[in-house]
Chain A
Amino acid sequence: MRNDMFSVLRRSPFSLAKTRDVALRLGAVIACLALLVIATPNSAQAFSDEELRNIAEQLNDKSATKKVAVIEEMAADGDPRVAPILKAMLDGDLYVRDSDEHVVIATKKGKVFTHIDIVSGEEVGESSSKELSKIKINNRLRGALRDALATLNLFSPDLNIRSAAVEQIMDARDPAMLPLLLRAIDREEDETLLARMELAQATMALAAGETTEERLSAIDVLASETTPQIRAVLSQFVASAEAEGYEPEVVAAAQDALESVEGRLSTWQTIGDVYRGISLGSVLLLAAVGLAITFGVMGVINMAHGEMIMIGAYTTFMVQQALGSILPSGSAWSLVISVPAAFLVAGAVGVVIERSVIRFLYGRPLETLLATWGVSLVLQQAIRTIFGATNQQVTAPDFMSGAIEFSTGLVLTYNRLWIILFSIIVVAGIAAVLRYTAFGLQMRAVTQNRRMAGSVGIRTGYVDALTFGLGSGIAGIAGVALSQISNVSPNLGQTYIIDSFMVVVFGGVGNLWGTVLGAFSLGIVNKFLEPMAGAVLAKIFVLIALILFIQKRPKGLFALKGRAVEA
């Protein structure tokens, strides 16, 4: 109804454009505009107020099948008031008011729900949650709602809403949507979106098309694109070719197109593997870089390293809790503040451990190993006693949620991208501290030759404590980042301790760049093995390869040159 009206309105300026009389044309345009202003609201409202209210009440039917039918009926007539109702239903904001059984959109503010009338769109009261019952939806209804919204939104004035609608239609590939899509193509002015629309049309036209030419041109359009959906469309077409009796030249063309799409997709798959490898590498690097200092530089086999990461993660949780009343959740600032906080807390714990336990055990690696392992158990149980054994929730700030999605199927999640960047910053920071500060100089001096360093006036004990504190503090910083992708639980540290040692040993004890290279190469190798061998076997292969490598080069990728680290 409304669509017919629209097409008339759309066509009329063109036909009038041909008339010679400018005045007449102008007059007609004005008349047309006036008609648009007057006619659109009336004609677009396919439902009367009463009808809309009645049909919306049926959305609360018990049967999902009935609900789907109601949704389709509501969307079919293109009433502009329908989209907000369906959107509210999708978001779980559609309720039935117990007092008068009316369907209302209710938004929650604190404990009060504000009711919005579905017909007028105005506020019509408020109540607590007790006076409302929610209209329940399940995944089938969510799908139906999204499809219905897509058809309604296809003519939305907002470009973004239109694009989303086209993507939804492309996912659904329901031939029933084809006529509507064709109308949208006629009207669309945005070039990029038009191309997507034509692609969406081609995905449906391939099977639904009637002539050989139609099919061939659809294949032509499809072959130029590289997305998993296109691969699915083509492979389904090829698979059903025999049953449907498609023409041989069409099937051959589809097969060619399928092969070229698959070839390009596999390149993207490799790019994805490399990215995921780098991402895993950056996590390993963050986890290991603190250990590269405590174990790598100082030679302390620090089994409590993982717990320093855990302390960093819990500090993040505490900071978020403490700032919760001041900052909105999802605020970036709580993470920014967590970084120095975690450094200080974990660093301080590290200094305490060094002063109270480790300094008595220098040069006795076995005792150090056992003592630090004991420390790690004490720390874990302490956290368990204070915070409980269950996971704590660290909210991700908005800039770390979501992903950049390429149509080729490659997904770069923001949290991983930030962690890659963050790991690079941390390593650069450490390198700078070691290279350019007085403390870094003293640290390197003590590592290379303790007695000589002592005899030129460096307080070696003091440097030891600070070095251990630095390593622990950096582990704490890693905890801030890992709280975004992992559990914040007392077991957090145990997950990373073995990987950390692997990275440091592989990269070469005492060499920061070795750690960097070790982390990234282990990450990438792991991610290339994983799709082939599965996660369990990939881990085993990496471990075996590492053991063999250490046999060949006991000092790792980069052996420390010059005067050996003190015995």
Chain B
Amino acid sequence: MNKKLQALIGAGAMAVSAMAMSAAQAAETIKVGVLHSLSGTMAISETTLKDTVLMLVDDLNKNGGLLGKQVEAVVVDPASDWPLFAEKARELIEQEQVAVVFGCWTSVSRKSVLPVFEELNSMLFYPVQYEGEESSRNVFYTGAAPNQQAIPAVDYLMSEDGGSAERIVLLGTDYVYPRTTNKILRSYLNGKGISDEDIMENYTPFGHSDWQSIVADVKAFASAGKKTAVVSTINGDANVPFYKELANQGIKAEDIPVVAFSVGEEELAGIDTAPLVGHLAAWNYFQSVESDANTAFIEKWHAFIGDESRVTNDPMEATYIGFNMWKQAVEQAGTTDVDAVRQAMYGQEVANLTGGTAVMNTNHHLSKPVLIGEVQDDGQFDIVWETEGTVVGDAWSDFLPESAKLTADWTYPWVCGNCEKPMY
């Protein structure tokens, strides 16, 4: 009798566990979409972020997955083609039924997928510094807003340590991010007493390769006797010929420092940086940051990618923070349901790689530290300045009159991304 009972219980237990296993398989895995260009112009930057997400997913699965399920990354290639981003986003959400999407780099690709995410009420984590002036209920912005990158950077240039610049050149690629950022900067600089005649603004097409005239113009502009600095929002491929021309025309960082918002460790990989030592970049993370979290992250990255020479950069950290925040929010909400996870995201805290804590605010932007680094001859950055503590990302710039009035807050009573008054 006893034995029979035991056998029965044993069999029952086996059956239950077998059922549980098949149920787990039936409830499948949690799918995570990766929407980064793997071909075309932006592949140079975005491929790395795809690999970062894959690494994080891999890591998560090794540590037991999420909500007891395995996580599966669904990778698509929008091929640097902005309308294709929207199509691929729809494919990920409707056909693949992903719980969340990590993706986009350029602002124009984000603008392209925005209506899709809002229509289908899905969730996007956007990991790149951008021009602000946006807060969507369906997007979490883990890169820097202008007040977390551009404004501190020009403050530094105008400070004594940065060289007390009195004349500023704004160089950018001709699209929405540089134009908006420069609009904010111009208004900010005017407020700081730098008049329009001391500001030179210049835009070039994507992939511009002949910088001779522009660099010569900058030199002429800088010869007026006032200390001049360059703020560069030049994006992507155009940076390599730009920096090569700077180096060849002998522009030294102590004479005309260039601070870049889109040049990180990865972009410098194609350049001999010895003549560029001292030029600057403003980010929220550099590979050279000394912290335990960063050392562990770099080791993990090298092991995953199988190449010791690969660098890490700021958008990778933003992806790392976004992914971990989403993971925590899902664990807290106990589901991957978009609305529940979104509620759980607010106030979510995650250790960043610079030794501090990233907090998600109700305007869907992070609190991050701002760092300014100098290019070194090994292609890395040496941090010369950083904010004390973190800066709260500001969706709507305070320096543009029409946007200073707007507030982004997705919690009660505001529940709005661009309102002058609370909704409720």
Residues of chain A at the chain B interface (Cβ within 8 Å) = 64-65, 92, 136, 138-140, 142-143, 146, 171, 228-229, 231-233, 235-236, 269, 272-273, 276, 279-280, 283, 380-381, 384, 388-393, 395-396, 401-403, 405, 409, 411, 413-416, 484-491, 494-495, 527, 530-531, 534-536, 539
Q: Is the CB of B205 within 8 A of A536?
A: yes
**In this assembly, does B390 line the interface, its C-beta being within 8 Å of a C-beta of chain A?**
no
CA–CA, A459 and B181, complex, Å: 62
What's the minimum C-beta distance from A167 to chain B, rounded to whole angstroms?
11
Which residues on the B side are within 8 Å of A273 (C-beta)? Answer: 213
Given contacts A139-B162, A486-B209, A495-B209, contact A536 B174 (CB under 8 A): yes
CA–CA, A393 and B379, complex, Å: 11
Q: Is the CB of A396 within 8 A of B203?
A: no
CA–CA, A236 and B226, complex, Å: 10
Q: Is the CB of A140 within 8 A of B163?
A: yes
Q: Is the CB of A228 within 8 A of B220?
A: yes
Which residues on the B side are within 8 Å of A283 (C-beta)? Answer: 209-210
Residues of chain B from 207 to 249 with CB closer than 8 A to chain A in the complex: 207-210, 212-214, 216-217, 219-220, 223-225, 237, 240-241, 244-245, 247-249
What's the minimum C-beta distance from A270 to chain B, rounded to whole angstroms?
12
Q: Is the CB of B161 within 8 A of A138?
A: yes
A-B contact pairs, 5 of them (CB 8 A): A138-B162, A384-B39, A487-B240, A535-B203, A536-B203
Q: Is the CB of B210 within 8 A of A405?
A: no
CA–CA, A136 and B381, complex, Å: 12
Q: Is the CB of B245 within 8 A of A491?
A: no
Q: Is the CB of B240 within 8 A of A391?
A: yes
Given contacts A232-B225, A536-B203, contact A411 B250 (CB under 8 A): yes
Which residues on the A side are within 8 Å of B241 (C-beta)? Answer: 485-487
Report the stretch among B268-276, B333-341, B346-354 that lies at the interface: B268-276
Q: Is the CB of A389 within 8 A of B47?
A: yes
From B80, which residue of chain A is reached at the shortest CB distance?
A491
**In this assembly, does B322 line the interface, its C-beta being within 8 Å of a C-beta of chain A?**
no
Query: Which of A280, A411, A487 has the most chain B CB atoms closer than 10 A to its own CB?
Result: A487
Residues of chain B at the chain A interface (Cβ within 8 Å) = 38-41, 43-44, 47-48, 160-163, 174, 202-205, 207-210, 212-214, 216-217, 219-220, 223-225, 237, 240-241, 244-245, 247-250, 252-255, 257, 266-267, 269-272, 275, 277-278, 280, 374, 376-377, 382, 384
CA–CA, A38 and B196, complex, Å: 60
Q: Is the CB of B250 within 8 A of A402?
A: yes
Known: A384-B43, A391-B240. 12 other contacts (CB 8 A): A138-B161, A140-B161, A140-B163, A390-B47, A391-B44, A393-B272, A411-B216, A416-B248, A487-B270, A490-B43, A491-B43, A536-B174
Partner of B374, one of A138, A280, A487: A138
Q: Is the CB of B223 within 8 A of A390?
A: no
Query: Which of A279, A391, A490 has the most chain B CB atoms closer than 10 A to its own CB?
Result: A391
Q: Is the CB of B208 within 8 A of A389?
A: no
Given contacts A92-B277, A391-B44, A486-B209, contact A235 B224 (CB under 8 A): yes
What's the minimum C-beta distance from B258 to chain A, rounded to whole angstroms?
11
CA–CA, A279 and B212, complex, Å: 9
Q: Is the CB of B240 within 8 A of A280?
A: no
Partner of B255, one of A64, A171, A413: A171
Given contacts A142-B253, A390-B266, A535-B208, contact A487 B225 (CB under 8 A): no
Minimum-distance CB pairs A-B, first 7: A391-B270, A228-B223, A232-B225, A142-B254, A413-B248, A389-B43, A535-B204
Which residues on the A side are within 8 Å of B244 (C-beta)? Answer: 396, 415, 484-485
Q: Is the CB of A405 within 8 A of B163?
A: no
CA–CA, A254 and B175, complex, Å: 43
Which residues on the A side are within 8 Å of B209 (C-beta)? Answer: 283, 485-486, 495
From A284, which residue of chain B is reached at the shortest CB distance?
B210
What's the minimum C-beta distance from A474 to chain B, rounded to whole angstroms?
19
Q: Is the CB of B270 within 8 A of A393?
A: yes
Q: Is the CB of A403 within 8 A of B248?
A: yes
Q: Is the CB of A401 within 8 A of B248?
A: yes
From B280, which residue of chain A is reached at the shortest CB distance?
A139
Which residues on the A side are within 8 Å of B43 (C-beta)? Answer: 384, 389, 490-491
CA–CA, A486 and B270, complex, Å: 10
From B174, which residue of chain A is reached at the shortest CB distance?
A536
CA–CA, A544 and B186, complex, Å: 32
Q: Is the CB of A405 within 8 A of B39?
A: no
CA–CA, A137 and B219, complex, Å: 24
Partner of A409, one of B44, B203, B219, B275: B219
CA–CA, A143 and B225, complex, Å: 15
Q: Is the CB of A393 within 8 A of B204?
A: no
Q: Is the CB of A389 within 8 A of B270?
A: no
From A526, which residue of chain B is reached at the shortest CB distance?
B210
Which residues on the B side are within 8 Å of A136 (C-beta)? Answer: 382, 384
